């Protein structure tokens, strides 16, 4: 996302998901952040004109043969640098310090003592708790650096060279387990970098509206409206920019939750002053998915079929040239970009066909889910849209483990509706990132009414998360789980067993496929 008027901090990604979390924390301080590859050159940094640079954590050792490095000239640009964990060790190594493995590791909550006059710890307690996760450590600070904090296992837990604007901390200020971490980051952002807290929902809307107008001009635009928060906010932003040049297309691919098509019609015709075309394409999608069991193939089929339906509909509404998508930053990361591995191909990123006729407009591509919700509220969207739990673009197809059939879709819809109803009844809907049902396409033996059954199992999945990059399984009360299980088995005849998924992400993903 480009916003030339906003002060920007570059977060250099060293291969762990710490970079995404750091970027979010910087944005929470109302400073624009941008994640960049470790391969970025000093000249590229100079052209971007950041007010600060953060070197993220990572899994490697700085003295390994294949260690991740950066262009050392970056440290001489006069741009303040903060190294975190691996970034702290790399900074020390590049500046002439000593990094080694002493055989002593620190993991988890660790006491920290501030030992010197410090900018990073300004107005903070001399004794505090931080979150450590390291085996290597900085044994000697580089020349010109002052050691300003230590811990039992890290004699150089924090160091500063104010003259050069170089700072390093061994711990992770970006995680919630470091209670004063946000204050440490803000001291760097505000007092060291001089960043202005101008990255707000209002500024994001303004910059995106300007960008959309520049891209689209006076051309016709269509938006793939799913009913979820991402596509809704994307549609609202584009409508704010180009008004009646926008036509929203709701494709009912037959993979939606119970009563969803009717809810989308009712909600969006009432809240959007735009054309809404409802395309009923369930037969077409199911025919394409017949016999397909591989999850990546499912996603690619659904992604391509979506685009073909949009292209055909676009020709019917005046040869639209642009397609709006609610793609988010985690979608891009998980589909493989920069230093990140491909976790799974999102249908709206890696699943898109190469020969598309439409040019994409993706106003949310560099935003996290929490930022999207705030923007939705700023745009005046109703709470039932803004706070709706995420739903994958491929829909129930990636919650059926095996071939997608009408029968299995009916079973899963009925079970999923019960899961959501019980979560709402317990008052937990806003506390949980996602809660849903999964249908493995296998049969299990059961007994009902003194007779043998051979029916489907249902797996209930509920997780808590901030941005879907990581997630923990939700500790639902036993009575809620009992109500779900009892209702599903009694109300969905094709099911005789209910299980609860207690896997976190990582190592699992939120969706099963």
Bridge partners, residue 473, by sequence: 463
Instruction: Give CA–CA dist 66/106, Å, rounded.
Output: 24
193 in catalytic set = no
Q: Which helix (H) or strand (E) holds 322?
A: strand 322-324
- Are residues 388 and 373 in contact, defined by beta-carbon separation less than 8 angstroms? no
Bridge partners, residue 362, by sequence: none
Please list, in sequence order, all residues whose beta carbon lies within 8 angstroms of the beta carbon of residue 293, skipping any fewer than 6 positions away: 402, 403
DSSP 73: G
**For residue 34, which of 43, 175, 44 has the smallest C-alpha distance?**
44
Beta strands in 362-426 (DSSP E): 400-401
3-state class (DSSP) for residue 53: strand
278 in catalytic set = no
Instruction: Give CA–CA dist 352/141, Å, rounded.
Output: 49
Q: Which of 30, 172, 239, 346 is catalytic?
A: 172
206 in catalytic set = no
Instruction: Give CA–CA dist 497/442, Å, rounded.
Output: 11
Give buried/exposed letters for 315-346 (b at 16+ CB in 10 A, else e): eeeeebbbbbbbbbbbbbbbbebebbeeebbb
User: Is residue 461 classed exposed, middle or buried when 0-12, 13-18 and 19+ CB atoms within 10 A define those classes?
Assistant: buried
In the sheet with 246-252, reading across from the earlier edge strand, the strands are 275-280, 246-252, 221-224, 322-324, 359-361
Instruction: Give CA–CA dist 55/63, Å, rounded.
Output: 17
Instruction: Give CA–CA dist 114/112, Å, rounded.
Output: 7
Residue 4, sorted as left (phi over 0), alpha (psi -120 to 50) or beta, turns out to be alpha
**For residue 290, which of 299, 281, 300, 298 has the smallest C-alpha distance?**
298
Q: Which of 30, 85, 334, 513 is catalytic?
A: 85
Q: Which of 106, 160, 174, 304 is catalytic?
A: 174
Pairing of strands 81-84, 52-55: parallel
DSSP codes, 179-201: TTHHHHHHIIIIIIS-------H
Angle between helices 295-316 and 282-289 (to 10 degrees): 150
Give buried/exposed letters for 194-225 (b at 16+ CB in 10 A, else e): ebeeebebeebbebbbebbeebbeeebbbbbb
DSSP 83: E
Give catalytic residues, as residue numbers.
85, 172, 174
């Amino acid at each position: 996302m480009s916003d030339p008027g906003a002060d920007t901090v570059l977060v250099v990604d060293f291969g762990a998901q710490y970079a995404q979390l750091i970027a979010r924390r910087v944005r929470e301080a109302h400073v624009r952040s941008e994640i960049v590859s470790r391969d970025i050159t000093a000249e590229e940094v100079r052209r971007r004109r950041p007010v600060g640079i953060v070197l993220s954590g990572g899994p490697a050792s700085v003295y390994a043969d294949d260690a991740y490095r950066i262009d050392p000239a970056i440290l001489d640009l006069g741009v303040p640098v903060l190294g975190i964990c691996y970034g702290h060790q790399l900074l020390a190594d590049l500046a002439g310090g000593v990094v080694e493995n002493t055989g002593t590791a620190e993991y988890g909550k660790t006491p920290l003592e501030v030992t010197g006059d410090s900018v990073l710890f300004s107005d903070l307690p001399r004794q505090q708790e931080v979150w450590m996760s390291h085996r290597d450590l900085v044994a000697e600070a580089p020349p010109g650096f002052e050691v300003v904090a230590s811990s039992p296992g890290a004699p150089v837990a924090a160091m500063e060279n104010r003259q050069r604007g170089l700072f390093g901390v061994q711990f992770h200020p970006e995680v919630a387990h470091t209670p004063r971490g946000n204050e440490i980051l803000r001291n760097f952002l505000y007092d060291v970098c001089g960043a202005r807290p101008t990255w707000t929902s209002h500024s994001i809307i303004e910059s995106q509206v300007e960008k959309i107008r520049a891209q689209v001009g006076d051309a016709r635009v269509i938006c793939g409206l799913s009913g979820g928060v991402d596509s809704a906010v994307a549609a609202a932003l584009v409508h704010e920019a180009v008004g009646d040049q926008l036509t929203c297309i709701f494709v009912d691919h037959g993979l939606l939750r119970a009563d969803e098509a009717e809810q989308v019609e009712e909600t969006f015709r009432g809240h959007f002053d735009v054309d809404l075309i409802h395309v009923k394409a369930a037969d077409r999608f199911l025919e394409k998915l017949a016999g397909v069991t591989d999850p990546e193939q499912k996603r690619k089929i659904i992604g391509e079929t979506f685009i073909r339906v949009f292209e055909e509909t676009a020709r019917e509404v005046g040869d639209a040239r642009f397609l709006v998508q609610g793609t988010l930053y985690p979608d891009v990361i998980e589909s493989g970009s920069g230093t990140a591995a491909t976790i799974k191909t999102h249908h709206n990123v890696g699943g898109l066909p190469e020969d598309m006729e439409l040019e994409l407009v993706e106003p949310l591509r560099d935003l996290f889910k929490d930022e999207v919700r705030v923007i939705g509220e700023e745009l005046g969207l109703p709470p039932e849209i803004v706070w709706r739990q995420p739903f994958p673009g491929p829909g129930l197809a990636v919650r059926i483990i095996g071939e997608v059939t009408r029968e299995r879709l009916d079973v899963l819809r009925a079970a999923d509706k019960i899961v959501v109803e019980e979560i709402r009844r317990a008052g937990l809907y806003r506390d949980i990132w996602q809660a849903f049902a999964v249908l493995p396409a296998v049969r299990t033996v059961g007994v009902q009414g003194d007779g043998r059954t051979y029916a489907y199992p249902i797996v209930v999945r509920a997780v808590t998360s901030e941005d879907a990059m990581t997630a923990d399984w939700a500790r639902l009360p036993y009575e809620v789980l009992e109500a779900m299980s009892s209702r599903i088995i009694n109300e969905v005849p094709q099911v005789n067993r209910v299980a609860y998924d207690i896997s976190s992400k990582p190592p699992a993903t939120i969706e099963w496929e």
